[in-house]
Amino acid sequence: MTDAPELIFVGIDVSKDTLEVALDDSAKTRTLGNDEAALKKLIAMLDAVRERVAVVLLEATGGLEQPAAAALCAQGFAVMVVNPRQAHDFARAMGHLSKTDSIDARVLSQFARTLHASDKRERLLYKLPTVQQQALLAMVTRRNQLMGMRVAEANRLAGAHASQHKSIRTVLKTLDGLIGRIDDDAARMLKEHFKDKLDLLKGLKGVGPGTQAMLMAALAELGQLTQREISKLVGVAPLNCDSGKFKGKRTTWGGRANVRCTLYMATLSATRYDPVIKAFYQRLTHAGKLKKVALVACMHKLLTIINAVIKSGVPWRAGYPQEGHA
């Protein structure tokens, strides 16, 4: 009887231009470009030892990791993408105080081994987004970029010399046109590919086209997880901070920042126009909660309502707090 081959754990440190690849059975790392040709080389390199590759771990790097994660996942490799804070804390716990791309990649390969052995392995595995989700997320991301540019130009207009007003207004008009075209494309894609889910949420205050696009593109797990799991995934679940007799305040951190930012804006609207969320917000503030704390609690409540509605397949209706079904 032959022994099973020893598993290999791969860590990839991602930057704008390079991928630093570490296999935990090798002391050396390999530097590849962060482009399509280099990804083919990476896949070929791992394919040669496919039977031994247990997990490929990448650190979330503002979206720069997405092409590599998607390409590896599409080729059948088990991929995980972790929060940078988790990777940093693990590195410090392992005694790695220096920081280079090579060290970071080796730390990630060690972290991959630890996560593979944990009971959270299946939940941490990267889920390959559909072609439609990738395209929709690209639209949402580009729209946010253009909106940032528009805000900057609008702010410049207020303090600009009169001779530059025409130039700035021209830029604003161009940006408005680009944003409008993205909105039209996103609305068309939502109608063609996500209509069933969105029909369930029709009428829910705060969940407008922008929120719908972000949820469908960046939170494919909606309706598949429990209340607590979906809340932790987005970063709105209150987490304990206790030690011995010390009882700290519960805080929220981590999660998908792009979804959380969109959910924040949706909740601002919901606290004004949705009866359930509005009453919940007022009850918390009247009880002495800080407005920010109350708003985060409302974000959590709105998310669990959305998750429960999609999970149940029962259309949302006003005044019916469906989060209890999650």
Nearest residue to 56 via CA among 32, 35, 74, 80: 80
As a whole-number percent, the residues of the chain with pLDDT over 70 amount to 90
Instruction: Dig out the tokens for 321 from the structure.
Output: 């707090």
Query: 142 is written with which tokens?
Result: 């580009």
Q: Are 292 and 229 in contact (CB under 8 A)?
A: no
Comparing 252 with 272, the larger pLDDT belongs to 272
Q: Is the pLDDT of residue 320 over 60?
A: no
- pTM of the model as a whole: 0.77
Sign of CA dihedral 4, 5, 11, 12: negative
Distance between CA atoms of residues 181 and 146, nearest Å: 12
pLDDT, position 248: 45
Mean pLDDT, residues 45-55: 93
**Which residues sit opposite 13 in a β-bridge?**
20
119 pLDDT higher than 90: no
Q: How confident is the model at residue 257 (pLDDT cuts 50, 70, 90)?
A: confident
Q: Say what the pLDDT of residue 144 is.
A: 92
Whether residue 310 contacts residue 200, with contact meaning beta carbons closer than 8 Å, is answered with yes
- 126: Cα within 13 Å, side-chain hemisphere: 29
pLDDT in tens, 159-183: 899 999 999 999 999 999 999 999 9
pLDDT attached to residue 319: 56
Query: What's residue 52's pLDDT?
Result: 93
